[in-house]
Homo-oligomer: A and B are copies of this chain.
Amino acid sequence: MFHLTELLGSIEAGGTKFVLATADADFNIQDRDRIPTTTPAETIQGCIDFFTAHPVAALGLGSFGPIDQNLKSPTYGRILATPKPGWANTDIVGELKAALHIPIFFTTDVNASVYGEYIQGAAKDVDSAVYFTIGTGIGGGAIQDGHFIGGRSHSEMGHATVMQHPDDDFAGVCPFHGNKCFEGLASGPAIEKRTGKRGEDLPRTDRVFDFVSYYVAQLCLDAYLNLMPEKIILGGSVISATELPKVRKYMKELNNGYVTMPDDLVVLTEFANNASATVGDFALAKQVLGE
């Protein structure tokens, strides 16, 4: 059983850094650290050191992917075929459990985020939501009635097919799909490759943001038509308050009156610094203790 004097732990396992934190049962943060993502051995040891110094009753672990989160799978708990050097097939859950001896809820970073939004964020008053991160990569996590969407594995919405804008002849950056998936056309690296500049260094009036808004509108519309969530929440560094009205406008144009779409269906996350994932991790840690 979970004692209120014990703490909950969060690991946001990202491609460039791991964010580690502990919180009380109301998700008030007690301790926090961040460590660079280097080798699996070094980075996982950093996690073990932190949670040895700051013990927790359970951990929520939202990881970059692809991951094996299927409890019935023999390779459950591993990071799968990631292009990140050295990390493919890392048994991150197994190694943490062997050292820390606590229960761990393992899911994707975007599932952790959508769970955080569902518990305390933009989706707290609804029963279904999709969270997209649009940044270095594009990924989506979805929840319906408290359960993550995903049958044999987690969603990979950022790699679904995309209609390229007729004025956009960019060849795309996805190593698998070129210009034929959302990540290939609308991710941070896609912006940088087109313009030679990072998105944050470009004026928001640059044409590239018009294209990106068009692709994100498609991404949201397709998720809506597949899952019919009550909220779609955008996180990551690419889409700002300047683009949100364009995303909504293109989505409305593409839908053309077919399905009912509330005006505030698509919103930006209200959390700074990806904090919805941290809240989600804590809530998932709490959930795993309750089971």
Contacts and interface: CB of A to CB of B under 8 A. Distances in A.
Contacts of A245: none
Contacts of A160: 221-222, 225-226
A41 interface: no
A163 B180 contact: yes
A127 interface: yes
Nearest to A226: B226
Contacts of A254: 161, 177, 180
A37 interface: no
A177 B222 CA distance: 13
A149 B149 contact: yes
Contact of A218 (B159, B161, B260): B161
Contacts of A230: 151-152
Interface string A226-242: 11111000000000000
B147 A145 contact: yes
Interface string A151-194: 11111110111111000000000001100100000000000000
A223 B226 contact: yes
Given A156-B259, A226-B226, A257-B176, A151 B161 contact: no
Nearest to A151: B128
A71 B127 CA distance: 13
The 10 closest A-B pairs by CB, nearest first: A128-B151, A176-B258, A160-B222, A151-B229, A226-B226, A156-B225, A160-B225, A153-B228, A151-B228, A176-B256
14 contacts: A127-B151, A129-B151, A144-B147, A144-B149, A153-B228, A153-B259, A155-B225, A156-B228, A157-B225, A159-B259, A163-B163, A176-B258, A177-B254, A223-B226
Given A144-B150, A154-B228, A159-B259, 16 more contacts: A128-B152, A151-B227, A153-B228, A155-B226, A155-B228, A156-B225, A157-B226, A159-B225, A160-B222, A160-B225, A161-B162, A161-B222, A163-B180, A176-B255, A176-B257, A222-B222
Interface of A: 66, 126-129, 140, 142, 144-145, 147, 149-157, 159-164, 176-177, 180, 218, 221-223, 225-230, 254-260
